[in-house]
Structure 1
């Protein structure tokens, strides 16, 4: 059995309401204690965190959802997948799990979702980790803008999208020997016609206004900016700006790490995260 299949078979599922739509959210739930929620970005899924969460789950409860439109959560057409909508998904998921206070770890768009949540629910977020996160007007990047064109969904075959995804990750992982297990897990959810349409809709939903409308200065949580310093998508300059704007923020840059920092520097990433959260 592949690592991605093992991960998905360990997931649970629940229904949430987003803008009046009833949607299924798949999530990994392990451990006990004060909860920590991990959230991926585009075009990844919860498997991104597979090598990160177990050490945290030794002392805390970890919850790792697939955003709606991603992974094993609802992918059908006809609902918003923006980070505003993902924030609503997180709020309803936490409510359904009876979680009132939480620590949040977000990467890429997931970081943008959690930045919004921390500004809108400042008393509910105790710790916030942002890794190579979208913020301000740092996004969307051109490759995602192009992916979100409506004709991409109509004109791209499953095989073409798989090749596109393979190229994207191989070209942006640090080093010359990418982990094939990681590549399989990142590509697998998009290996269908529904997956092609869903990832295009996800890309189309990237709305800069959803981070420019929130003020990071209102974040109360103790914040760690755990960043790959070689990121070609979300440069460390954005982390430095966040460090200035969030009162209780500390930037830790990991060298020899591109955008997929937890994959490029797994040992260092786990060590820094464990030190902050535990």
Structure 2
């Protein structure tokens, strides 16, 4: 698809899909589950959902979510991309071997293995939260395989893991974080409270719906091993691998764009500016006033709009 056609698609997407509340025909929980497939890799049995045709785009979610996070963006972009949303090792429906490496570097290598298994030579990458750190590692380790990066609030340079996440990491290290996840399912109103994921990470806590909680949380609690791996995913953020790749980031020539919420306690907008200055082919930063960490689920129209513009510029 050439630049003019991509721009026309971008305009159509932004006009037709004003936001989650007005969107329709995107996959619900049951449709997403029916679409789920698995691929065997050296890292484990990886779950993914694919939608659309065209050049590949890979969507990387955060902790403790899974590929369901991207259902709205995939729906909007499936007309121009083969959209692939894998579940990270230790999260969602992917099955890692007991004792598997769950670090960001290992996750990046797993994504490269998924690309091999699905015959994807190169992909546009869209990322959020810990997925943003993994995307950077993927780009510097396998630069020929990443066509562009759309990065949203997530791990950058020395802000990985962010200090605001320390209580959750400490609870994970003690094996106690699963109890907080259970409270989302057992206590009405907890998700939207200041202690719940909705209150902390969603601009509107109501957007962590009952359906989304059923998509995200039961897989994390399905067995003692799954509970352990979900918590080990967070513990594996340390040691932070991102400062060591700064020189290689500064040498990347692929197009990059930052879409960043300003209301996020974990990843301040200064880190989007850091990326903009560090990456030589950056296409700038778009700030989303007041948006919290998981706004990419709440506002898939913004993701689609920025992705289409970035991809159009990259193909010019």
TM above 0.5: yes
CA distance in structure 2 between the partners assigned to 1:68 and 1:96 by the alignment: 16
Q: 1:11 offset after TM fit, Å?
A: 0.9
Superposition map of 1:36-185 within 5 A: 36-75=57-96, 77-140=98-161, 141-152=165-176, 156=179, 159-160=182-183, 162=185, 166=191, 167-172=195-200, 173-175=202-204, 177-180=206-209, 181-185=211-215
Q: Which 10-residue stretch deviates more, 156-165 or 199-208?
A: 156-165
CA RMSD between the two structures: 2.3
How many pairs align?
Answer: 272
Equivalent residue for 1:5? 30
1:80-118 Cα deviation digits (max 9, x unpaired): 111111011011111112222211111111111110111
Please list every run of 5 or more consecutive structure 1 residues that lacks an aligned counterpart in the other structure. Answer: none
Equivalent residue for 2:236? 205
Question: Greater RCO between the two (CA within 8 Å, min separation 6)?
Answer: 2
CA distance in structure 1 between the partners assigned to 2:208 and 2:100 by the alignment: 33
Does the 8 Å contact 1:76/1:198 carry over to 2? no
CA distance in structure 2 between the partners assigned to 1:163 and 1:76 by the alignment: 29
Equivalent residue for 2:291? 257
Equivalent in 228, 236, 239 of residue 261 of structure 2: 228
Does the 8 Å contact 1:68/1:81 carry over to 2? yes
Distance 1:176 1:85, change over 3 A: closer
Does the 8 Å contact 1:162/1:190 carry over to 2? no
Does the 8 Å contact 1:130/1:224 carry over to 2? yes
Q: 1:191 offset after TM fit, Å?
A: 3.3
- Could you say what secondary structure the match of 2:94 adopts? coil
- Could you say what secondary structure the match of 2:170 adopts? helix
Q: 1:75 offset after TM fit, Å?
A: 4.9
Does the 8 Å contact 2:140/2:245 carry over to 1? yes
Q: 1:238 offset after TM fit, Å?
A: 0.7
Does the 8 Å contact 1:28/1:64 carry over to 2? yes
Please list every run of 5 or more consecutive structure 2 residues that lacks an aligned counterpart in the other structure. Answer: 1-26
TM-score when normalising by structure 2: 0.79
- Could you say what secondary structure the match of 2:156 adopts? coil
- Could you say what secondary structure the match of 2:217 adopts? helix
1:127-164 Cα deviation digits (max 9, x unpaired): 111111201121222133223214437x9497357569
Q: 1:200 offset after TM fit, Å?
A: 1.0
CA distance in structure 2 between the partners assigned to 1:131 and 1:157 by the alignment: 25
